Homo-oligomer: A and B are copies of this chain.
Amino acid sequence: MDGNAGPVYRPAMNPAAPAVVDFWFDFSSPYSYIANEWVDALVARHGRTVHRHAILLGATFQAAELRSPVSYPMKREYSIADFARSARFEGLPYRHPENFPIPTQNAARIFWWLHDTDSPAAAAGWSRAALRAYFTRGVALNDAVALKALAGASGLDADAAEAAWNDATWKQRLKAENDAAIAAGIFGAPSFMVDGELFWGNDRKPQIERWLASGPF
């Protein structure tokens, strides 16, 4: 009955279906933004599909006793430069947001609302729209007015989106995903689970690709 009593994550094990690649991300994570742009094409090349999980790094950091790299003075300057360089390495635009990091529970609740009431594809579309808005145009996902406007501009019903992020159903849905991620050993984002193997970080892309191409190594 404590905060960690959420559902335990278990990878899909149906041998008849193409195995999914689970992908955990946070809307305030630059490396999640980058990975969110390449993950679909990479796994599609190997006959897989992506199962996205919006989570809150604040929850996993607390569970794992970690802090954001930008909270360490010497690491901060390097990290901000590396965010932009890692985006350029993937051919992606990046503009470091003036206000960073930010709380992203409302954006994440919209994700789960779309995921459960429309489709995983609709939620994936929202993940791209919101991450691009924050990391290329500085749209403040933590600001209710800006977030509602972004939802509307992204083709969602803006009033329904606002109602969703205030709804206990989607608050609880997000909390359960955070708890499940922590129970699965997730301590940062982006994280990936491929056939039970955990990979942490945008920079594990080459290892994930080899794993998908030729199996465990």
Contact = CB atoms under 8 A, between A and B. Distances in A.
Contacts of A182: 74
A203 interface: yes
A88 interface: yes
A187 B65 CA distance: 20
A89 B185 contact: no
Interface string A26-66: 00000000000000000000000000000000000001111
Contacts of A100: none
Contacts of A200: 78, 82
Interface string A97-115: 0000000000000000000
A206 B207 contact: no
Given A64-B72, A89-B207, 8 more contacts: A64-B74, A65-B73, A65-B74, A66-B74, A74-B182, A78-B185, A89-B217, A206-B206
Interface of A: 63-66, 72-75, 77-78, 81-82, 85-86, 88-89, 182, 185, 187, 198, 200-201, 203-204, 206-207, 210, 217
